[in-house]
Structure 1
Amino acid sequence: MDWLYRFPHMNDSTLTALKKSIDEGFRAFTRAYGDTIESFFDPLQYFLIQSERFMTTTPWPIIIALIAAIAWFASRSWKIVASAIITLLLIGFFDMWTDTMKTVSMIFVCTVLSIAIGIPIGILMSRSDRLQSLVNPVLDVMQTMPSFVYLIPVVMLLGIGRVPGLIAVVIYAIPPIIRLTNLGIRLVDKDVLEAADAFGSSNWQRLKNVQMPLALPTIMAGINQTIMMALAMVVIASMIGVQGLGQPVLKAIANQYFTLGIFNGLAIVGIAIIFDRVSQAYGKRLQKHLETVHG
């Protein structure tokens, strides 16, 4: 029976050695390839800086008019447009405009990157059950892993700054758009696909003209969830240098500034509500349009 007592200690020492070897291997990898990996993300950094510069240097009436126009185009609802304008005016009144614009630019870049990566992966998953069975466990891990954990390898590889924060946010926020793109395409009616095949459509034509338009409302729901998760990650990403509304919240937590934390937290909530209402309204409009076309 002695092995019952000895085994845990042996196991602990083996695990400790394994952990040390993995840590040392990762450090060696970052020393050898860190600069190369960092230079690979230079275009992304340029895109983020230009986006942030546009949002922060453009006069606030133009930004509000632009957001109101996007909200109207997406929703066709004066209530949503009015609530967006009022929210932005309140943010400006309480002197949180610059931080809010930095956060909006970060979310915009994260969303564009998530769409560019997530939708192709979702399309590939919808075409292959085997790929779906391989990718789904990875997405499960990504969605259940604590958000702080994403910061560790990113910071070790790229240091502290905008781009590491951006990558951490994208990794955290991308699973919904992948899942719902895959789901939306798989839910397209088989009769419609058979009709497309009967007309001699190629795989690309079927995807472009039939599957993607019919799956678009579901994909929009994925984009909506991705935006919400990106906003949720903003405060945590501020720990590694992401500028915006997250930094004042972090400062408020560290120094017990109650009003600073509450006001900036409410600004994040306001931005989240604008994004949520606009994207949901656009998804519903797409759904109604498709029902009318195919009704």
Structure 2
Amino acid sequence: MFPDPLEHAANAGERMDWLLKFPQLDPDWLLTAKRAIDGSLKALTRSYGQSIEDFFYPLLQVLIFFENVMANAPWPLIVIAAGALAWFASRRWAEVAGVVATLAVIGLLGLWVDSMKTISLVLSATIFSVAIGIPLGIVMNRYRRLGAGMKGALDVMQTMPPFVYLIPVVMLLGIGRVPGFIAVVIYAVPPIIRLTDLGIRLVDKEMLEAADAFGCSPSQKLWKVQMPLAIPTVMAGINQTIMMALGMVVIASMIGVQGLGLNVLQAIANQYFTQGIFNGFAIVGIAIIFDRISQAYGRRLQKHRGASHD
């Protein structure tokens, strides 16, 4: 008898099925593993939730203090301080005028208080990120094997979708300032770590040889030669950290972080086009202020470094 064509085709399809469907672990085992991990986190929260909140209570107070200072300070004082900072960083009146004009537009749009809340969170997150990132960048440079592992971790941190960072912090801490702040810091800290390591590695070998010739110890060579020469690169890392923190603030509004990000989220939910555009422009204005000041200061340090070499 001739073979049934339909049966033959079905058998061929079964034989080729392994090419079309990627092999995977047992679905029941994966489901059990996922439930075990999620259950462990929930059990940890139920057992130690209050202790975790108590541990982060000082951080909450710091964040509230920063927010109250920025939101309740007289607006002329904020404008003068921002202008003075722009002058210190750039020594150019054009930069000062740009910063003052941007803040004036933000205020005229009725977004002053929300902008100050956003700036307070970005500043506090940047301070914490720098305090964590520079030492980790030094460690990454000093210990090559550990640095290789840190590089892989930083690759994961920088490619992970920002929304994923919200899941574990919400499970452990709920919603509010502290979980939003932690998510912002985790998202913003990789650039300062990477560029601190890069800045140290870019120091001229002649300078290091001269330091060795003068009998500098490793710690003296680090703090008196490498770190001062790496400051322009470190400033670029701080600039990138600020930008990433500002971008994450909008996403962190989903878990209760107040400020411009919350306004944007409300505009999306209610389809308020004008509200979204105004708050978006305010966020862009704040980003431009931070970017101009940090880049201008980095250029000044670069020029100073070149002059000292000459």
TM-score, length-normalised on structure 1? 0.96
Q: CA RMSD in A?
A: 1.7
* 1:129-156 Cα shifts (integer Å, max 9, x gaps): 1011110111011111110000000011
For residue 62 of structure 1, what is the amino acid of its counterpart? Answer: L
Q: Distance in 1 between matches of 2:21 and 2:67?
A: 58
Which of these residues, 272, 283, 287, is aligned with residue 257 of structure 1?
A: 272
Distance 1:291-1:16 versus aligned 2 partners, 3 A rule: same
| 2:129 counterpart residue number | 114
8 Å Cα contact 2:260/2:283 also seen in 1:
yes
Please point out which of 248, 257, 268 is paired with 2:283: 268
Flag structure 1 segments of 5+ consecutive residues without an equivalent.
none
Matched, 1:63 2:87: no
SS at the partner of 1:74?
Answer: helix
Residues 6 and 189 of structure 1: is their aligned pair in 2 closer, same or farther, counting only changes over 3 Å?
Answer: closer
Give the aligned partner of residue 5 of structure 2: none
- The separation in 2 between residues aligned to 1:272 and 1:91, in whole angstroms, is 12
**Residue in 1 that maps onto 2:36:** 21
Q: Is the 2:89–2:294 contact (alpha carbons within 8 Å) kept by the matching residues of 1?
A: yes
Q: Mark the runs of 5 or more structure 2 residues left unpaired by the alignment.
A: 1-13
CA distance in 1, matches of 2:151, 2:240: 17
Which letter does structure 1 place at the counterpart of 2:103? L
CA distance in 1, matches of 2:22, 2:91: 67
**In 2: Cα distance, 1:6 partner to 1:256 partner:** 42
1:187 and 2:207 aligned: no
Match of 1:164 in 2: 179
Q: In the alignment, which of 225, 236, 248 is matched to residue 221 of structure 1?
A: 236
Alignment-mate amino acid for residue 176 of structure 1: P
Shift of 1:79: 1.0
Check if 1:96 corresponds to 2:115.
no
Q: In structure 2, do the counterparts of structure 1 residues 6 and 133 end up closer, same or farther at CA, with 3 Å as the change threshold?
A: closer
Indicate which of 149, 155, 160 corresponds to 1:134. Answer: 149
What SS is found at the alignment partner of 1:191?
helix
Q: Distance in 1 between matches of 2:108 and 2:298?
A: 31
Worse overlay, 116-125 or 187-196: 187-196
Give per-residue Cα distances to partners, 1:24-48, cap 9 Å, x unaligned.
1111122222222222222221211
Is 1-10 or 57-66 further displaced after alignment?
Answer: 1-10
**1:273 is matched by which residue type in structure 2?**
I
Change in Cα spacing, 1:9 to 1:227, as seen in structure 2 (3 Å) is: closer
Once residues 239 and 290 of structure 2 are traced to their aligned partners in structure 1, the CA distance between those partners, rounded to angstroms, is 7
The aligned residue for residue 305 of structure 2 is 290
Aligned mate of 2:188, from 145, 167, 173: 173
Q: Is the 8 A contact 2:41 2:172 kept in 1?
A: no
Deviations 1:8-59 (A, max 9, x none): 6862121111111111111112222222222222222121111111111111
Structure 2 counterpart of 1:215, one-letter code: A
Identity fraction in percent? 64
1:62/1:129 CA distance change after superposition, 3 Å: same
Please report how far the alpha carbon of residue 180 of structure 1 lies from its aligned counterpart in structure 2 after TM superposition: 0.3
Give the superposition deviation at 1:168: 0.2
Find the counterpart in structure 2 of residue 244 from structure 1.
259
| Cα distance in 1, alignment partners of residues 221 and 201 from structure 2 | 13
Normalising by structure 2, report the TM-score: 0.92
Count of aligned positions = 295
Distance 1:15 1:192, change over 3 A: same
- The equivalent residue for 2:9 is none
How many Å separate the matches in 2 of 1:142 and 1:277?
Answer: 26
> In structure 1, what is the Cα distance between the partners aligned to 2:272 and 2:21?
51
Secondary structure of 1:243's aligned partner: coil
Compare CA radii of gyration and give the structure with the larger one.
2
Q: Give the distance between the partners of 1:38 and 1:135, measured in 2 at CA.
A: 28
Alignment of 1:4-43 (within 5 A): 11-43=26-58
Residue aligning to 2:224: 209
The Cα of 1:128 is off from its aligned counterpart by 1.3
Take 1:98 and 1:169, find their aligned partners in 2: how far apart are those partners?
Answer: 20
Runs of 4+ in 1 over 3 A off after TM superposition: 1-10
